[in-house]
Amino acid sequence: MAGGHCLRLLLLAVLVAAARGGGEERAPALFVFGDSLIDSGNNNNLASLAKANYFPYGIDFAGGPTGRFCNGYTIVDELAELLGLPLVPPYSQASSVQQVLQGANYASAAAGILDDSGGNFAGRIPFNQQIQNFESTVAQIAAAAGASAAAERLARSIVFVGMGSNDYLNNYLAPNYDTRQRYDPRQFADLLAHQFASQLTRLYRAGARKFVVAGVGSMGCIPTVLAQSVAGRCSPVVDGLVLPFNANVRAMLDGLNANLPGARFTYLDNFRIFKAILANPAAFGFSVVDRGCCGIGRNGGQITCLPFMPPCADREQYVFWDAYHPTAAVNVIIAREAFRGGADVMAPINVGQLARL
């Protein structure tokens, strides 16, 4: 009882501090769901091949290697700062309720919308399990701070969801999966969107109300795909596969907005942002678009960044950090577009507007 009373006082103090912060009103917490693009260390202690808790990952991050698949910030790290929040902890490393009052990151490298996606990497936390972990967090906060206070706080929090890349790269396109024999691209996009809608609805039922849902980004020019072509060419086929899924997600979010009372879903078109960067890299400050900063073989994409492998020195000039992931510089651009961008990249509203609702 005393512990619960103390936590209620702590929650009140957090709310008062936020109110006194001045400036535009921002969200009280950020909850993150996704894959290696935004994982911050949940795979570190799993029996998994999908890990990044070694140097040179984190070479430009204040905490060094943490499990982020990047040299520095991920998209959600920058978003947390823009929201006036601390960097949210990975769920696996949050040992107390107090640590998740301002959010938690449930993302897991190799995870997909479908439970079997990413199986080649062994251990990972699929989206369904991430949602279950979130439900546990909500129950813990409600038990400690009171159901009403927890529900009110959660309803004002931002939920960021970025799923689907592994359902293509490490399922549909993986040679040891038979998915392509069972579904054509349209059927697979429909399957994913149907499952995704159910999962987002489950988050809503757990109390989430403000959602930022990222589409699958452009993957036709990532170094691992470039390396599969002797000429190092992009694959329009890979990009073409994900476009029906992204279109499905946009339509699905419109439906959820119409049918779930009090919900606000907004779509991040990171595919469009990434294509804009690749089309005119100099306009965004980049000069190297055809290879990873850290990797081996053609385009730095045949083998991804190995432990203690020296990365490129001029990381700010690179679009890609390793065989699969963008550099921190790209992540920061995408996050700022998500926070402040117009309807061409954030529809119907941007994260800054969502936070003020």
Give the active site residues: 36, 322, 325
| Type of residue found at 138 | V
Of the candidates 324, 329, 290, 289, the residue with the CA atom closest to the CA atom of residue 305? 324
Q: How far apart are CA 169 and CA 24, in angstroms?
A: 39
Q: Which of 218, 230, 222, 216 is nearest to 301 (CA)?
A: 222
Give the tokens for residue 311: 């990365």
> Shortest CA distance to 70 belongs to which of 318, 339, 343, 356?
318
